[in-house]
Chain A
Amino acid sequence: MRPFDYIRADAPATATKEAGAGARYIAGGTNLLDLMKLEVMTPERLVDITRLDLRDVERTPEGGLKIGALVTNSDLAAHPDVRRDYPVLSRALLSGATGQLRNKATAGGNLLQRTRCYYFYDPAQPCNKRDPGSGCGAIGGFNRIHAILGASEHCIATHPSDMAVAMRALDAEIEVEGADGAGRRIPIADLHRLPSDTPQDETTLAPGDLITAVILPPPAKNTFQAYRKVRDRASYAFALVSVACVLRMDGDRIGGVALAFGGLAHKPWRDPEVEATLTGESPSDDLFDKAADTLLREAQGQGGNDFKIPLARRTLKAVLREATQTEAAA
């Protein structure tokens, strides 16, 4: 690990003041320290934000939930309001990592965790994200875990978070405090970027921006919520494909639905056209196939991850059948 200066912040304003060029915030440290040990990340200064008062989960005046950036993944998954009103979020959190890691991992750090692409993790390999301009080892290489949607010729990495996929389906907003002390809110849809020709820029945050909270809108009434994760092991593995679903029936028709996908792209993926295909229709396997056709209309395999295209279809259909209590076509 490269040497760094260690600074402990006692208030958001001191944190943002200390976080100049070459600095990183450290929260749970479960992603940052892993990458620093491998010298994939080499910050010159670490600003420890764990003493900041950002550990509360509170009701918002609108009836939603404000989740402090330092709330651990364990505490958030077990929070009574989250379990009752946002079960998709509890399930997504519980599907991720392990008991030990969830006790450390924070809401802010989880959103900003970096890809698990093997070439990104190995400084001896080319990687445009770690070392812009060096090429992409995964294109034409091993790419079992890589993206089938929204990728570019410069990077085909996926975003690994489960939590962020559920938050995407729930239309969360991210509360940020900038280096100048000014606060703002970013819809989660606009937090993460697609790789385009600058895969090193993963989010729309500016250097020194501090995430202070995640805001959930008031819970949707009478919805079915589920997080289905498909992975190489029964537990303790990243998603190959995951689906977060919030669905409301209106009589025997689909009244409204939000669907977000993990494992498919450089960001939690959501496609309004998929939701439009389903809304107002009566559920059937044919309809679900149409939704999958829409989702995957521009999907592109890279060889090792071709299986994700049929897997995404089947996972989506399985979730929709469960949500609408529809039997599979014989």
Chain B
Amino acid sequence: MEITLDINGDRQVLDLDPRTSLLDALRHHLGLTGSKKGCDHGQCGACTILVNGRRINSCLTLAAMHEDDEITTIEGIGRPGHLAPLQEGFVRHDGFQCGYCTPGQIMSATAMIEEAREGWPSYVSPSLEGDIELSDEEIAERMSGNLCRCAAYTGIVQAIREAAETREAAE
């Protein structure tokens, strides 16, 4: 079937089997291999992308379900020479070893920082109301959908905390 997708601001027309996951459409049909396939079952977060600004697992959804949606992948966040602050932070804080989980971590953290700014509580938030302070505990809970096989978690949390603070200071 013919499917039109809006990816990183570009309109793409694809001829796809209805079974094609959004992740496979990105990687195999559009050559956008920044999004990774770890488990293909929604368990690891390596395939995390943004749909209309919200983070989702692209392996657990069909490309056909996302016509008219605004899709952002790691390629749309920053490129070599023009890195996003979170990407620079991951480099500075050693937020990775093999790098396989990294695009998913960065996409997830990008949306997570906005969720916290909108006041979304998490399971570890002491109160369901009021402002959210992104403590290490809050970051760990909110990022629990992104696994890192190399266990670079210390650097990942530092990079995210710094990016959240920079974002706050910029207001």
Cβ–Cβ < 8 Å partners of B143 in chain A: 99
Contact surface of A with B, Cβ cutoff 8 Å: 1, 3-6, 8, 26, 28-30, 33-34, 37, 46, 48, 50, 74, 77-78, 83-84, 87, 90-91, 94-95, 97-101, 103-104, 235-236
Contact B60 A34 (CB under 8 A): yes
Contact B121 A99 (CB under 8 A): no
**Could you jot down 15 A-B contacts, CB within 8 Å?**
A6-B18, A28-B61, A29-B60, A33-B21, A78-B120, A94-B121, A94-B123, A97-B145, A98-B144, A99-B145, A100-B56, A101-B57, A103-B56, A104-B61, A236-B145
Cβ–Cβ < 8 Å partners of A103 in chain B: 54-56
Q: State which residues 10-32 of B face A: CB under 8 Å.
A: 17-19, 21
Contact A6 B64 (CB under 8 A): yes
**What's the nearest-Cβ distance from chain B to residue A102, in Å?**
9
Contact A99 B61 (CB under 8 A): no
Contact B108 A1 (CB under 8 A): no
Tell which of A5, A83, A98, A236 has the most Cβ of chain B within 10 Å. A98
Contact B121 A48 (CB under 8 A): no
Contact B41 A83 (CB under 8 A): no
Q: Tell me the complex Cα distance, A236–B42, Å.
A: 12
Contact B121 A236 (CB under 8 A): no
Q: State which residues 121-164 of B face A: CB under 8 Å.
A: 121-123, 128-129, 140-145
Which B residue's beta carbon lies closest to that of A235? B144
Interface size, chain B (Cβ < 8 Å)? 37
Cβ–Cβ < 8 Å partners of A84 in chain B: 128-129
Given contacts A83-B128, A235-B123, contact A33 B62 (CB under 8 A): yes
**What's the nearest-Cβ distance from chain A to residue B75, in Å?**
19
Contact B123 A99 (CB under 8 A): no
Given contacts A48-B65, A94-B122, contact A99 B129 (CB under 8 A): no
Given contacts A91-B123, A104-B60, A235-B123, contact A6 B1 (CB under 8 A): yes
Partner of A100, one of B1, B64, B108: B108
Contact B56 A78 (CB under 8 A): no
Q: Tell me the complex Cα distance, A235–B142, Å.
A: 9
Judge whether B70 is part of the interface by a CB distance below 8 angstroms.
no
**What's the nearest-Cβ distance from chain B to residue A8, in Å?**
8
Cβ–Cβ < 8 Å partners of B120 in chain A: 74, 77-78
Partner of A99, one of B21, B64, B115: B115
Contact B42 A1 (CB under 8 A): no
Q: Tell me the complex Cα distance, A4–B20, Å.
A: 11
Q: Tell me the complex Cα distance, A269–B143, Å.
A: 31
Contact B45 A100 (CB under 8 A): yes
Contact B60 A78 (CB under 8 A): no
Contact B128 A99 (CB under 8 A): no
Tell which of B60, B120, B141 has the most Cβ of chain A within 10 Å. B60
Contact A95 B121 (CB under 8 A): no
Cβ–Cβ < 8 Å partners of B140 in chain A: 235
Q: Tell me the complex Cα distance, A5–B140, Å.
A: 40
Contact B121 A78 (CB under 8 A): yes
Q: Tell me the complex Cα distance, A235–B55, Å.
A: 18
Contact A83 B111 (CB under 8 A): no
Cβ–Cβ < 8 Å partners of A46 in chain B: 18, 62
Contact A29 B65 (CB under 8 A): yes
**What's the nearest-Cβ distance from chain B to residue A243, in Å?**
15
Partner of A4, one of B19, B48, B123, B144: B19
Cβ–Cβ < 8 Å partners of B60 in chain A: 29-30, 33-34, 101, 104
